[in-house]
Amino acid sequence: MSDDLNNPPLNYWYIGNSKFNLENGVYRLSKQIKRVFETRNPGNREVLIIPWLRGEEKFLAVMDSLYVGIICYENSSGVIDDIAKKILCEGERMDELEVSTTGRMTLPKELTDLVGIHKKGIAAGMKNYFELWNPEKYRRNMEKARVRI
């Protein structure tokens, strides 16, 4: 990891997107997401997963312990972003999950039902965290984003 947290190496960010298959509620991190997760969280296997809403589309935001730590630090210094508000202020449901050494985690059925991820999904990197989407909802969200640009 770079000593300068303002300019970390590229392999420090969750970027890009990938398709995945959900088998018996088990999500397997893509190679890129697993590599970033292990770089950011040496020795820690826990993530927070939070149901989220962007426009009309629900998805799951997955945050590693480093990002949650950054949010808490920024909040203590008076800087707070939308995700920090959601976590710290609005009492949104959060689940703590463990990522296995092989990069797998079991998603609660209640959450996958809530966002409509049943057999297939999209994992989208968002720099400091990643999102898990129903493929059709992800497509609609991306179309709306293109229209706004």
Report the Cα 112 to chain-centroid distance in Å.
14
> What does the mean pLDDT of the chain come to?
83
Query: Structure pTM?
Result: 0.82
Percent helix / strand / coil, the chain, rounded to 5? 35, 30, 35
Per-residue pLDDT of 88-127, as tens digits, reads 555 567 788 999 999 999 999 999 999 999 999 999 999 8
Given this model, what pLDDT does residue 2 score? 41
Name the maximum alpha-carbon separation found in the chain. Answer: 42
Task: Tell me what the mean pLDDT of segment 50-54 comes to.
Answer: 86
Structure tokens at 149: 């640009």
Say yes or no to pLDDT of 20 above 90.
yes
Beta bridge mates, 48:
63, 96
**Position 23 in a domain:** yes
66 located within any domain: yes
Task: Give SS3 for 124.
Answer: strand
Domain that holds residue 30: 16-148
Count of structural domains, the chain: 1
At 144 the pLDDT is 86
- Is residue 9, in this structure, part of any structural domain at all? no
> What is the C-alpha end-to-end distance of the chain, expressed in Å?
34
Is residue 2 a part of any domain in this protein?
no
CATH of the domain at 40: 3.40.1550.20
Q: What is the pLDDT at residue 92?
A: 60
Is residue 64 a contact partner of residue 105, using CB atoms and an 8 Å limit?
no
Residue-wise pLDDT tens digits, 27-37: 999 999 999 99
Task: Name the band, by pLDDT with cuts 50, 70 and 90, for residue 1.
Answer: very low
Q: Which whole number is the average pLDDT over 50-72?
A: 83
CA distance 80 to 76: 9
Is 20 part of any domain?
Answer: yes
